[in-house]
Structure 1
Amino acid sequence: MTERPTFDELFSKCMRSAIHLEMRDTYTPDDPVYLDWKAGRDIDPVERFRGWFDVVEKTVSRGVNIRRARVVSEPLTDFIRHEYEVTPRLNIPAGERVRWLPRRQASDLVLPGNDFWVFDDQLVRFGYFAGDGTYLGHEIVTDPRVVKICVDAFEPVWERAIDHADYQPAP
């Protein structure tokens, strides 16, 4: 598929569910919000990510179930610790359900090679990143076999993962 819909477009067309699997230990190392957090500055993630917050909140208000699972190495990297601290101030208030799975508990799971979103079990958006976490782009795939692979990979992670409210990262 050659079209490149934005997240706003993907979420606006979503009717039932959006699932997201994250498996990296660092993302976007030059992100200004992350750099402010790392420098100890107080950040308001909702204001800094207002567009994301609004689209998720609007999508959830239409009855769409948004689930995000993160497979993480412990101890957490600085970037993932940043995500952990921002989650109850951004993702959860917007309406996402978020769970964490320590990587050592994922060894017997079969997972795709890249992070992904699946919308309504119909479309996959793979995200591509460099080794240092720099965003390289994305690809949209509608092949039902690929969609099934991603859904089938996500569900065991979700079942095994720990809800954000209960997850305590290892020191």
Structure 2
Amino acid sequence: MPLSVPTWPELLGGARHSAIHLEMRDSYAVDYEEGPFAQWRAGFRHDPADRESWWRPWLDLIQGTVGRGVVVRRARIVSEPVSEYTRFLYDGTFTNIAAGEQVRWLPRRRASDIALPGNDFWLIDGRLIRWNHFTGDGASAGGEISENRAAAKLCADAFKEVWARAVPHENYKIT
């Protein structure tokens, strides 16, 4: 019987030691007409001094998770030159870091020999996986929860290798 997918506050609220996230797509649910990506394309940029205007409640959840002592790391595998959407993510990543996440970027060409899962994921405490499924155009196709030990090991090993090769956000320069 499949496990029910917890909400993000439930998932991260249950983390005790670590929450790692691997992103492998060059775009996600891009809406060219409205929303944050469209605003960014029109020239909007977050003001580093105006923390209240940033992506809430997500950043509050991350800040609270990190505040409990959970290490939250995000790695992004990206094609180079980067997509317009990746530029959008890059420009806003300072908000993730301000909330307490550690973020690294790995050029896709440096990931060719890493055994990677077929989907983006969150791995909580090395045992609970939240698979993120997407449609071909990047829209969310829902999440799935797994406690499969072999899959958790694949995710942990893949993330460890990606993390070791990836460039910390403050040193990564987009091309």
Q: How far is the alpha carbon of 1:46 from its aligned partner?
A: 5.6
Q: Does 1:66 align with 2:43?
A: no
Matches within 5 A, 1:19-34: 19-30=20-31, 32-34=35-37
35-44 or 128-137, which moves further after superposition?
A: 35-44
Cα RMSD (Å) of the superposition?
1.4
Q: How far is the alpha carbon of 1:40 from its aligned partner?
A: 1.4
Q: Which amino acid aligns with 2:155?
A: C
Q: Matches of 2:166 and 2:38 in 1, distance apart? A: 28
Residue of structure 2 equivalent to 1:100: 105
Matches within 5 A, 1:137-156: 137-156=142-161
Q: How far is the alpha carbon of 1:2 from its aligned partner?
A: 2.7
Runs in 1 of length 4+ with deviation above 6 angstroms? none
Matches within 5 A, 1:73-84: 73-84=79-90
Matched residue of 1:138: which SS?
strand
Deviation by residue 1:67-116 (Cα, 9 ceiling, x = unmatched): 0000000111111110001001x100000000000001111111111100
Residue of structure 2 equivalent to 1:56: 62
Q: How far is the alpha carbon of 1:127 from its aligned partner?
A: 0.5
Q: How far is the alpha carbon of 1:159 from its aligned partner?
A: 0.2
Change (3 A) 1:111 1:71: same
131, 148, 167: which is aligned to 1:126? 131
Aligned sequence identity (%): 48
TM-score in terms of structure 1 length: 0.94
Q: Which 5+ residue runs of structure 2 have no aligned equivalent?
A: none
Q: Matches of 1:77 and 1:124 in 2, distance apart? A: 27
Q: Which 5+ residue runs of structure 1 have no aligned equivalent?
A: none
Residue of structure 1 equivalent to 2:38: 35
Q: Matches of 2:96 and 2:163 in 1, distance apart? A: 16
When the two structures are aligned, how many residues end up with a matched partner? 169
Q: Matches of 2:14 and 2:8 in 1, distance apart? A: 10
Residue of structure 2 equivalent to 1:112: 117
8 Å CA contact retained: 2:77, 2:107: yes
Q: Does 1:16 align with 2:21?
A: no
8 Å CA contact retained: 1:22, 1:116: yes
Q: Matches of 1:102 and 1:46 in 2, distance apart? A: 32
Change (3 A) 1:37 1:156: same
TM-score in terms of structure 2 length: 0.92
Q: Matches of 1:67 and 1:122 in 2, distance apart? A: 15
Matched residue of 1:165: which SS?
helix
